[in-house]
């Protein structure tokens, strides 16, 4: 990494309201290449909105968001091209219900990346193998468990060879025993140097895999520190309170 290259994801002075609710308040956030940033906070703190704003699934009212040094374009082809560079994994998986697992992985490769069908399938099967689901290529999403669907969703995002991956509560809709299989895949990605922004309640993942923990409350970033510092000695009362609640059980 050269010192002149811009950070991969940069938010500066970002604001957004949902009606009266000020969900994002003067958000500044920088994510460097290869960094894993975990965003935690109580529900309604704006962390999902923050994650979705990065690829403009949520529009913002003011402030600047840039990816790889380029500001986010308005709706249109330029925005679509930029989204192809930033993968996203959703809480509810959102696999295309009318297509097989493999088709889910090849669709955007052929339509956006313009790869040949054969190349797309090869890449798709490679990635399915990596998430341990090569034998499920011809099934439909509804025939898979939640954990399997989420692993396919991660593979689908990876098939585009994105520069960064956004995870919006990827394990919140999963049964406990399936959380592990998804987190294993995510830990592997983090080890391989993928740039990741992860909104999650999995403190174990934050401790083990995050380079930084961003703690949000009421639409603001309250703390932004390495996990060992944050979990050992949170500075704000808000974070202490939050950690006390979730670490109790």
212 binds other proteins (CB under 8 A): no
Among 31, 39, 65, 88, interactor with other proteins by CB under 8 A: 88
Q: Is 156 in the site for other proteins (CB under 8 A)?
A: yes
Euclidean distance between CA atoms 174 and 176, whole angstroms: 6
Measured distance CA(205)–CA(21) in Å, rounded = 30
Residue from 60, 108, 179, 217 touching other proteins (CB under 8 A): that is 108
Q: Closer CB to other proteins, residue 160 or residue 210?
A: 160
Q: How many CB atoms lie within 10 A of CB 166?
A: 26
Is beta strand 36-40 parallel, antiparallel or unpaired with respect to 212-217?
A: parallel
Beta strands in 41-180 (DSSP E): 62-67, 70-71, 86-89, 164-168
CB of 241 to other proteins, least distance (A): 32
**Residue 157 makes contact with other proteins by CB under 8 A:** yes
Q: Using the rule CB under 8 A, is 75 a contact of other proteins?
A: yes
Report the candidate in 222, 213, 226, 224 with the shortest Cα–Cα distance to residue 241: 222
Q: CA–CA separation, 245 vs 239, rounded Å?
A: 10
Q: Is residue 137 near other proteins by the rule CB under 8 A?
A: no
Q: Which is nearer to other proteins, 114 or 249 (CB)?
A: 114
Of 47 and 156, which has the nearer Cβ to other proteins? Answer: 156
Q: What is d(CA 181, CA 176) in angstroms, rounded to the nearest whole number?
A: 10
Secondary structure letter of residue 241 according to DSSP = H
Q: Taking CB under 8 A as the rule, does residue 90 contact other proteins?
A: yes
Considering the rule CB under 8 A, would residue 111 count as an interface residue with other proteins? yes
**Residue 80, class by beta-carbon neighbours within 10 Å (0-12 exposed, 13-18 middle, 19+ buried)?**
exposed
Query: Interface with other proteins includes 95 (CB under 8 A)?
Result: yes
Q: Which of the stretches 82-90, 131-139, 176-184, 217-225 binds other proteins when contact is defined by CB under 8 A? A: 82-90
Residues near other proteins (CB under 8 A) are 55, 57, 75, 77, 80-88, 90, 92, 94-98, 107-108, 111-112, 140, 153, 156-157, 160
């Amino acid at each position: 990494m050269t010192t002149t290259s811009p950070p991969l994801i940069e938010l500066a002075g970002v604001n957004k309201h949902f009606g009266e609710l000020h969900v994002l308040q003067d958000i500044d956030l920088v994510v460097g290449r290869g960094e894993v940033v975990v965003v935690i906070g109580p529900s309604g703190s704006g962390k999902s909105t923050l994650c979705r704003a990065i690829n403009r699934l949520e529009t913002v009212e003011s402030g600047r968001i840039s990816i790889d040094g380029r500001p986010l374009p308005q709706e249109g082809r330029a925005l679509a091209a930029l989204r192809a560079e930033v993968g996203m994994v959703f809480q509810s998986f959102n696999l295309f219900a009318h297509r097989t697992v493999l088709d889910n992985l090849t669709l955007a490769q052929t339509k956006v990346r313009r790869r040949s069908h054969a190349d797309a399938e090869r890449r798709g099967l490679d990635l399915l193998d990596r998430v341990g689901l090569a034998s499920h290529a011809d099934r439909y999403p509804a025939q898979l468990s939640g954990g399997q669907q989420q692993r396919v969703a991660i593979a689908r995002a990876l098939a585009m060879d994105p520069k960064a991956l956004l995870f919006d509560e990827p394990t919140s809709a999963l049964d406990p025993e399936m959380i592990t299989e998804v987190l294993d895949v995510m830990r592997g990605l983090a080890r391989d140097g993928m740039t990741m922004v992860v909104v999650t309640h999995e403190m174990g993942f934050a401790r083990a895999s995050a380079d930084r923990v961003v703690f949000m409350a009421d639409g603001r970033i309250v703390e932004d520190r390495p996990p060992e510092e944050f979990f050992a000695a949170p500075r704000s009362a808000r974070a202490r309170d939050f950690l006390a609640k979730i670490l109790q059980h």
